[in-house]
Amino acid sequence: MSPRVERAKHAYEQIYEALRDQIINGDMEPNAKVPSARKLAADWSVQPNTAQKALTALRREGLTESIPGKGTFVRSEQPLRTGHDRLRSIRSSGRIYPDSEYARIVKAELTSASEAIAEALGLDEGAPVIRRLRVTMSKESETPVSASTSWFDGQLAATSPALLRAERLPEGTPAYIERTTNRRITSGRDQSAAGPADERDAELLQIEVGEPVKHGRNWMFDPDGGVVEYGESVAVAGRWSTYSYEIQPEMEG
């Protein structure tokens, strides 16, 4: 079935988002050729200049590059998937990681919340919490590209016991929690900052202490604003993460 343009968004935004999801999900692998503006225009039943705007948006994000006389290609550098990207990937493709990467669950345990983790989850300090540590690996080089820790309210141990197993959840933790608790994730927030790798970062990513890394934090919320999952991550340098947003026009008055 051919894709259809929805009127809620500009046509070029819908094309851009569809292509971006394919790149983030790994459906379009590094160095793969991206459909031309003419091909996209025919597939989506839009004008070529509309399709070209979508391609330009991808290039501005650093996800693609244009080679004169050859076309547009997915960049060889893999993007860094944020919590938002992972959730979109799960819901759009049923997969978390592209074919070029895989994750190892290093630890899954029930522990006590530190002051910082309790604050992030909206719990009391010392409350039971679930901690899941994973390392994402490159299949090609068999080296770590990122590491992340997810934290959950310890009460989920009763309804979602697989969170305490050091095994991958093929459907992803958000989908697993939604399925076992009927608690749907409807919003999120991501933060990031660059800095030097400490001893813990260096051990997980197999790099030297002091090398530049990117630290991230993310929250996933239910409709009532409750925190379903809080995550902390660290990634090697050179992996871009992208945030897209709309700016509402100013109201007169």
pLDDT tens for 138-153 read: 887 888 988 999 999 9
What pLDDT does 253 receive? 45
Residues 130 and 219 in one domain: yes
The whole domain housing 18 covers: 11-74
Residues 55 and 98 in one domain: no
- Residue ending a domain, choose from 74, 100, 124: 74
Tens of pLDDT, residue by residue over 110-140, are 999 999 999 999 999 999 999 999 998 888 7
Mean pLDDT in the chain? 85
CATH of the domain at 149: 3.40.1410.10
CATH of the domain at 60: 1.10.10.10
Tens of pLDDT, residue by residue over 48-98, are 999 999 998 888 877 888 888 889 998 876 655 565 666 666 555 555 666
Residues 21 and 101 in one domain: no
Structure tokens at 8: 């809620």
Residues 69 and 191 in one domain: no
Residues 70 and 87 in one domain: no
Q: How many domains does the chain have?
A: 2
The overall pTM is greater than 0.85: no
Residues 131 and 170 in one domain: yes
